Amino acid sequence: MKISELPDADLRLRLRGDGVYFRTGTFIACLRTRLERVASSFGLLYSDYPLLDGPFADFHVELAPPRGLRRWFRPQVDFITDGHAPFAALPASQAFPMFEWGLNWCVSSNAQHYLIIHAAVVEKNGHAAILPAPPGSGKSTLCAALIHHGWRLLSDELTLVRRQDAALVPLPRPVSLKNASIDVIKHYVPHATFSPSVMDTVKGTVAQMKAPSRSIECAGEVARPGWIVFPRYEADAALSLTPVPRSRAFMRVADNAFNYTRLGAAGFEALKGVVAQSDCYDFRYSRLDEAIAAFDRLASQAGTR
């Protein structure tokens, strides 16, 4: 049963009560909240995810107003997991982005059976492209365009590497877009579904784009590494795809991993397995049509590798 099959009134009753249990990738999460802005965006963006019965969940999370006067004066919201709030409260208007950021934190803090890389990852023809990049690089913009033009979303934020064989494990969740990229993708992918934009966050204006239903349906299918691509958007720049030595790519990806040092030798072996299977590139783009065509050319060569 999908979340969309639950009537809106029942969804809100569950959210206010014991919570809504749902599967995202290999994880089960439970969300509780009385906040309408969270309930409406959750129902919109998570409608295609499997609805489960409790009481087991990897992560139990709640979005709720802080206790005391802050509940009424400058309304705020806490992200609560396992009975405690790991972050400072945010303005109530930022409740749904806080849910997305908090769930990412839950995975990156607890799923130590994976090597976790801060990178988007998309797949086509059985091979995946890992896209590590700092904020403002155009990573999520590129990811959002690719997954609506023939590529499968594994994740926008967290690349999960299975340590025993370097397979990439899907975690398809909404794509987080910021500032100018929101309107760019709304224009480029007009049929996509978006949450309301939220202004004045630490990341500027943010909105989430719903993951394609096919990516959610294929969340149990791992992918092989094929490419590590370091993207950067540059206005009016000519498209370029420049090979990067694997040794240099290894160090750059290690710098983007949440738990590489913590895993020690296991992290080294897992990342070595990913890099050994991947062609590595620096990628500069300014036009999404050209960028998608370049990625499609890579995918068309996957069978000849």
Residue 85: the pLDDT is 95
3-state secondary structure of 233: strand
Q: Are 142 and 290 contained in the same domain? A: yes
Average confidence (pLDDT) over 92-120:
97
- Could you read off the pLDDT of 234-287 as tens digits, one per residue? 999 999 999 999 999 999 999 999 999 999 999 999 999 999 999 999 999 999
**% helix, strand, coil for the chain, step of 5:** 35, 30, 35
Higher pLDDT pick, 71 / 96: 96
**Whole-model pTM above 0.85?**
yes
Q: Are 7 and 119 contained in the same domain? A: no
Q: Are 15 and 72 contained in the same domain? A: yes
Burial 123-154 (b: 16+ CB within 10 A, else e): bbbebbbbbbbeeebbbbbbbbbbbbbebbbb
- Overall number of domains in the chain: 2
Q: Are 204 and 135 contained in the same domain? A: yes
Residue 46: the pLDDT is 98
Q: Are 265 and 200 contained in the same domain? A: yes
Output the CA angle 154-160-223, nearest 5 degrees.
50
Residue 129: the pLDDT is 98
Q: Are 164 and 243 contained in the same domain? A: yes
- Could you read off the pLDDT of 55-73 as tens digits, one per residue? 999 999 999 998 765 556 6
Last residue of a domain, one of 62, 89, 110: 110
Residue 303: the pLDDT is 55
Q: Are 27 and 169 contained in the same domain? A: no
Q: Are 158 and 275 contained in the same domain? A: yes
The H-or-E segment that residue 123 falls in is strand 114-124
* Domain ranges, residue 8: 3-110
Q: Are 101 and 208 contained in the same domain? A: no
Last residue of a domain, one of 95, 110, 125: 110
Last residue of a domain, one of 61, 89, 110: 110
Q: What whole-number distance in Å separates Cα of residue 114 and Cα of residue 129?
A: 18
Q: Are 180 and 274 contained in the same domain? A: yes
- Residue 305 scores a pLDDT above 60: no
Q: Are 103 and 134 contained in the same domain? A: no
- Could you read off the pLDDT of 146-164 as tens digits, one per residue? 999 999 999 999 999 999 9
